[in-house]
Amino acid sequence: MKSMTGVPMSILQNYILRIREIANQLGNTSPEDAYNFRGRGFVQLTGRAHYQEYTDYFAAHELFATNGQTPDLISNPDLVATNPEIAAFILVHGMAQEAFANKTLEDYFLPNGEFDFYNAREIVNAGDDKSYGPIAQIAETYAGVLKLICQEGGLPGWDKM
C-alpha cells in the first residue's frame, strides 16, 4: 500500500518509529520537545535529557549563578546558544566526561604524544565522517598555533591579564 505521496506505507511507518525511538533516546516527552531542545551551542546540544543533565549539573556545582540562581536550560534553552561561557563549558565538559558518546578526549591521545583530531570527532557525532576531515584540519591548525604560542612564552600582554 502506498501513501498519498507515493511512498510505501511501510517506509513511512518505519520512519515514524525511528523518529519516536530517537525522541525517546533524547529524553523528549512531548512533540514540542524536538523544537524546544534542538541543537544549540558549540556542540549542538540536543534533546530534553541533555538540557536537563546540564541544568542539574549547574545547580549541583553552583555554576554560572546569577543572583543565587543557576541557569535552568529547560525553561530557557536558548542560553545554550546565547551564553558563550555555558556553550564552551558544555562542549569541554561533555567531551571530557562521555556526555555525548562512550568516548572521551583521552581516548584519542596517541602513543607518540600527538592527538588524533580526525577520529576524535566521534566524541560528539559518531558516524558523521564527512565532517571529520575539515574539522580535524581546523583543530590541527589551532593546536599548532597554541603550541607555538606556548613555546614563545604565551601571548603578548598575558602577564598583564
pLDDT for residue 16:
63
Give the separation between CA 140 and CA 110, rounded to whole angstroms.
14
Percent of the chain clearing pLDDT 90 (strictly above): 43
pLDDT in tens, 110-139: 999 889 988 888 888 777 777 778 888 888
Average predicted confidence (pLDDT) for the chain: 85
145 vs 36, higher pLDDT = 36
- Burial tier of 32 (Cβ tally within 10 Å: 0-12, 13-18, 19+): exposed
Give the separation between CA 85 and CA 79, rounded to whole angstroms.
10
Global pTM reads: 0.74
C-alpha cell at 142: 589551532
Give the separation between CA 143 and CA 146, rounded to whole angstroms.
5
User: 80 near 90, Cβ under 8 Å?
Assistant: yes
- Burial tier of 140 (Cβ tally within 10 Å: 0-12, 13-18, 19+): middle
